[in-house]
Every structure is written in structure tokens, then in C-alpha cells.
Amino acid sequence: MHFGLTDEQEMIVSTVRSFVENEIYPHEAMVERTGQVPHELGEEIKQKVIDLGFYACNFPEEVGGPGLSHLEFTLVERELGRGSMALTHFFGRPQNILMACNDEQRERYLLPAVRGERMDALAMTEPDAGSDVRGMKCQAVRDDGDWVINGSKHFISGAEHADFFIVFIATGVDDTPKGPKKRITTFLVDRGTPGFEVREGYNSVSHKGYKNYILYFDNCRLPDAQVLGEVDGGFDVMNEWLYATRLTVAAFSVGRARRCFDYALNYSAERKQFGQPIGKFQGVGFQIADMITEIDAADWLTLAAAWRLDQGLPSNREIASAKLYASETLARVTDTTLQIYGGMGLMDDFPIERFWRDARVERIWDGTSEIQRHIISRDLLRPLGA
Amino acid sequence: MKVLVPVKRVIDYNVKVRVKADGTGVDLANVKMSMNPFDEIAVEEAIRLKEAGKADEVVAVSIGVKQAQETLRTALAMGADRAILVVAADDVHTDIEPLAVAKILAAVVKEEEPGIVLCGKQAIDNDMNATGQMLSALLGWSQATFASELDIDGDSAKVTREVDGGLQTISVKMPTIVTVDLRLNEPRYASLPNIMKAKRKPLDEKTAADYGVDVTPRLEIVSTTEPEARAAGIKVDSVDDLIAKLKDAGAV
Ligand SMILES: Cc1cc2nc3c(=O)[nH]c(=O)nc-3n(C[C@H](O)[C@H](O)[C@H](O)COP(=O)(O)OP(=O)(O)OC[C@H]3O[C@@H](n4cnc5c(N)ncnc54)[C@H](O)[C@@H]3O)c2cc1C
């Protein structure tokens, strides 16, 4: 067993770390205050990332990406997790799902996305269909050889910057012994398509500036050429590609937890009460010990899951465990750090209150903690007939 | 023209330094180590010379422990063409003194025959500010220290130096030793393609003995102490008050 990184991997980590510290941190307070990233700033960050060859670093060489392993890409995501998500969005990791593009779609979507010319967003969730993806109501029906779409999607991140959307839409129902089951198809929808509209969404306390939007389809007509993968093959596309985003949530959580922990560690060494650094009180010192233990555990769980993917081993359960544990660790670490800061932790003079707010969504999106536990337990119990 | 850039592996400038219990130095076990920031500037300048067509090869050299290999890989990932590692110590706490480093560098220069050696003006670990100058003396080459601008033109170089009270511009004969200051340039990040390429670039490993240089320390560290904690400041009500207080303290 070998737990070390290669020289290249160390350099990837240190380059991304310096990039986040120098190009992202200085703008964080402004993004937090204004709740948005100015267009020029986003473009400037994107251009720097393109110049550094890190744009779309989750893509293989055959389509113009750098061909990193899952482990290496996870290391990149971990370092990016330190920075504001609204800003690191421009570090550009298009949805892996675009690899499902056919030759013609490659030219229109995949390749421009990898080059940073077109940005994407992914839409699955609906007001009445969150964890229960199959419960979606947004539907496409056949009309004169095209698809006509009606319905809506909400909580769609990155929509303001997106040039096109990867949208999961119901295309029929099957009767099964367990009751009716929706068939789902993945569509590529360009911004500006008639009958398709992007509207402002809700205000979230997590990740200010990384806004969510609502998509409306009102008799929106799409030709077959906009179907990604097979008609009715939406779940195949999801299963083949969506694990990747869950692993990125785990990696994000570990990186953010480490940044937060450094604040806790330094503050407990510097802040004095009753004539001594508060870290000397066992009540605080033990919290430091528990935090670093959990962060290290979450880190290894995440890297091990990425390593399994690289080995081609079954990884679904391991990724779910990593996502579950890392996001919950981040919640505990940010909460404990805030407690160590006392009242000052709540003030926006320090980034702690922001880390604490940001952390909350990690246990919800890309599959709630409960859904991850469901995946883990079903993986273990189903083979036993339970 | 070939450019030789010596790079040193030092404690990362972000690390909070802790003095070792026995006072012989600072604790370097398990702390983040990086390329000396001034050396990064030297590597950047060398790569820019190459990009400008004024140099055709950039060779990075590091003298120290085996782990300095990582520092050299960073130089290669930034764009250096090849690297030479001279292993001169086993223990990460052993600092090779400037004279020994300069002697090894002089031997490397004889082998490599660069047209210019670009050094950092000092290493941030012990702030000796001596290696470049000693190397110049050993080789009998011209030297220009604390460079904030460098312009090579044929067999001479125009160097702007940051000196007390202003800038001084001098002309030196090539080949020359230039030690670089903070404002010369802003070093680039290693790009991902260059990081991946770095592994395939040649890195020769030598030892101090290969160059016949005795690296036994001549200096003895008597003690190392934490800097005194800064005394708490005070708040003043007005500019007049500030000036009065400064006058009292004899500062103006
Ligand atoms: C800021 C933000 C950005 C988002 N961005 C996107 C995006 O870009 N694209 C996109 O498609 N979606 C996005 N989402 C949606 C996100 O993935 C969903 O919020 C998530 O899947 C949960 O769905 P829900 O909010 O409808 O909660 P629900 O599914 O209604 O869940 C409510 C509660 O019930 C629990 N629950 C549900 N089912 C079970 C079960 N079987 N067993 C036990 N407990 C259960 C849940 O764990 C949860 O606690 C985003 C969400 C947020 C908050």
C-alpha cells in the first residue's frame, strides 16, 4: 500500500492551491457582499485557467482535456473547495455527462465546452421531484417528428452563465409490477430556444453568488438531434456519469474543512481567556483533535473512492460513503470552529460564518445524506435479499 | 546562450516557524517546503529570456537534501529544460553554507558553461545574501546584485539594482552573475501540460563529492530564539496626537 502522491500530483495540488489563494481569495469578500460575480471577473478567471491548461481538467485527452486520473481530478476539486464556489465555478469543469455526445453533438456542445467557449448547467430537480427523480413532471411528447416540452425545473445552479442546459425530461411511462415507472430522456437545450426561459430562483444562504435558477418550458420544440444518449436512456446516462459530481462534493467538503480548521487551530492558539490560550483548555483542545481526525478520515475516504474508480472497481457505495461522511464532517468542523471563535465567529469580519452557511447545502445537493445512506445500505442489503 | 538557475528548497513562506527545542535552528520535519521565492523569480526571468529568444536553454540546479528534487521538478514544470540535483546532506536540518554552495556552483558552471547565472538575492530561511557574490568571486565573473530589471544585449547586460535610497543602473560584462530582487517579475504558475511534461525532462543526480567539495560546516549556530512578541499598540484620537506621540518616542 502506498499513500504518497507523485511529484506531479504534489505540483498539481500546489498550483491549484496557489491559484485559489491568489486569484480567488482576494475577491471572496466582494462576492459575498454583492451576491454576484461581475462578468469580466468571471471571464478573467476563466481565461487564466485556460492559459494554465486546467480548464475542463475532468476531460480525457481525446476531446482536448488533460486526461487526469480520477484521483488527480479529485485532488484539484479538493483544493478548489477552499475557495468561494461562485468564483471557482469559472475554473470550468463541464459536466462529464457531455462525453455521451454523438459526433455531431461533440462539435456543438462537448468540444466548445472543453475549450471554455460555451458553459453548461445541469437540470434534474423539480419543485415536486427532488430526491425522487423519477417523480418528475416536466415532459416531452412526440409531435410531427419533434419533441414538445412542457414543465419546469428549479434549483438550477450556474444557469446565469450557461449557454446550454443538460435537462432530464420524462418521455413516457412503463407499467411495471411495482406500479407505473417514468421513462426519462436527456436533452441538450440552448439558451434562447423558443418556449424555454431561465428565471431568477430563490435566495440561498449557502454559496452567495453561486445562484440557482428556475427553468420554464412552454411548448418548447426540440428536434431529435437534441437528445443526449438514447431516447428513454436518461437513467443510463445518469448512472454512467453522475457519480462524478457526488465525488466532487466530497472533495470540496474536505478542502473547505481544512481551510476552516486552520482558522480554528490558529485561533485556539492565539485567543487567551483566563490567562491562557483557549486551546489549552481540554474542552477546546479535544475539539481540535476530533476535527483533524475526522478531516483526515474524510480525506482518505474520498481519495480511496477516487482511486477505486481509477482501478475500475465498483465504487458506488464508496463514493456515497465519501460524500456522506465528508459533507457531515464539514458541517461539524464549521460549527465547532464557529464555537471556538465565540461571538466573533458569527460576524462577517471573519469567513467562519460563511463557511458555516456554505456547509449546509453539501448535505442536501447531489443526493441528501439520507439518500447516500439509502445507496449504501441497499448496496449491502439487496444481495442478502433484504 | 545557456542560463543556469540555482534554486534552494526552503521552508514555505506561509509556514509559522517554530524554533527547535535545542535551539540549533527551526523545526523542518513535517513542514511544507517550497522553492525559495527569490529563486522562483530567477527561474521566471530565465524562462522569459528563453521566450524572448535571448537564451536557448534553462538549467536549474539545487544543492541540498535529496528531497530538493521536488523543488527542481517545480522549476521544470515552470519551464526549465533540465535539472541537476547535487545531494550534499541527508538530514533535512543540515543547511549547506554559502561558500560550499558557491564552490559546487562554480564547478557546475565550469561543466555547463552558461552565459549567465541567475540567483535569488537571498534565501528566505537564513537570509545570508552571499552565494551569488561568492560565486562571482570564485569564477572571477562580473556580478550585479538585487536586480529589478535585466536587459541583455550581446556581450553586456544592463541591470537596474534596488539600492538604499533608489535605483542604480549598471552595465556588466557577460558572462555574469545576477542576483534578483522581488520586483523583477511575477513568477508564473506551473501550467498543467508543463507539470505533466516535467517528469520526462532530464534530472541528473550528483553528489558534493563528485565535485570534490567539502561541505563540512564552518559556522556554528550558538542559539536560535523566537522574535520578541510585538508590544500592544495604542489608539490615537487625531493626527496631531499621533505626531506628538511619535515625537515623544523620538521617531520623528
Ligand atoms: C443551492 C442548490 C443548488 C442546486 N443545484 C441543482 C442543479 O444545478 N441541478 C439540479 O438538478 N438540482 C440542483 N439542486 C437540487 C438538489 O439536488 C436537491 O435539493 C436534492 O436532490 C434534494 O431534493 P429536495 O430539495 O427536493 O428534497 P426532498 O427530496 O424533498 O427531500 C426532503 C427530505 O426528505 C428526505 N428524503 C427524501 N427521500 C427519502 C428517502 N427515500 N429516504 C429517507 N429520506 C428521504 C430527504 O433526505 C430530505 O431530508 C440544488 C439544490 C440546492 C439547494
Chain A residues whose CB is inside 8 A of the B199 CB are 6-8
Question: pLDDT (tens digit, 9 = 90+) per residue, A277-319?
Answer: 999 999 999 999 999 999 999 999 999 999 999 999 999 999 9
pLDDT at residue A43, rounded to an integer: 97
Calculate ∠ Cα B143-B146-B150, nearest 5°. 75
Chain B residues whose CB is inside 8 A of the A11 CB are 73-74, 77, 190, 195, 198
pLDDT at residue B24, rounded to an integer: 86
Determine the 3-state secondary structure of B191 from DSSP. coil
Cα separation, A254 vs A75, in Å, equals 10
Question: pLDDT (tens digit, 9 = 90+) per residue, B148-197?
Answer: 999 999 999 999 999 998 999 999 999 999 999 999 999 999 999 999 99
Helix (H), strand (E), coil (C) string for B193-244: HHHHHHCCCCEEEEEHHHHCCCCCCCCCCCCCCCCCCCCCCCCCCCHHHHHH
DSSP A37-55: --HHHHHHHHHHHHHTT-T
Question: pLDDT (tens digit, 9 = 90+) per residue, B121-155?
Answer: 999 999 999 999 999 999 999 999 999 999 999 99
CB contact under 8 A, A66 and B74: no
Residues in the ligand 1 pocket, defined by CB under 6 Å: A 122-125, 130-131, 155-157, 204, 212, 361, 364-366, 368, 370-371, 374
Q: Is B229 on the interface with A (CB under 8 A)?
A: no
Chain B residues whose CB is inside 8 A of the A19 CB are 189
| Mean pLDDT for all residues in chain B | 94
* Among A204, A368, A373, A377, residue to substitute to test ligand 1 (most atoms within 8 Å of Cβ): A368
pLDDT at residue A226, rounded to an integer: 98
pLDDT at residue B74, rounded to an integer: 95
Question: pLDDT (tens digit, 9 = 90+) per residue, A191-248?
Answer: 999 999 999 999 999 999 999 999 999 999 999 999 999 999 999 988 888 888 899 9
Q: Which of B70, B194, B196 sits opposite A10 (nearest CB)?
A: B70
Cα separation, A62 vs B197, in Å, equals 18
pLDDT at residue B251, rounded to an integer: 82
| Mean pLDDT for all residues in chain A | 96
pLDDT at residue B169, rounded to an integer: 97
pLDDT at A87 over 90: yes
Global pTM reads 0.91
Q: Around Cβ B112, how many Cβ atoms within 10 Å?
A: 16
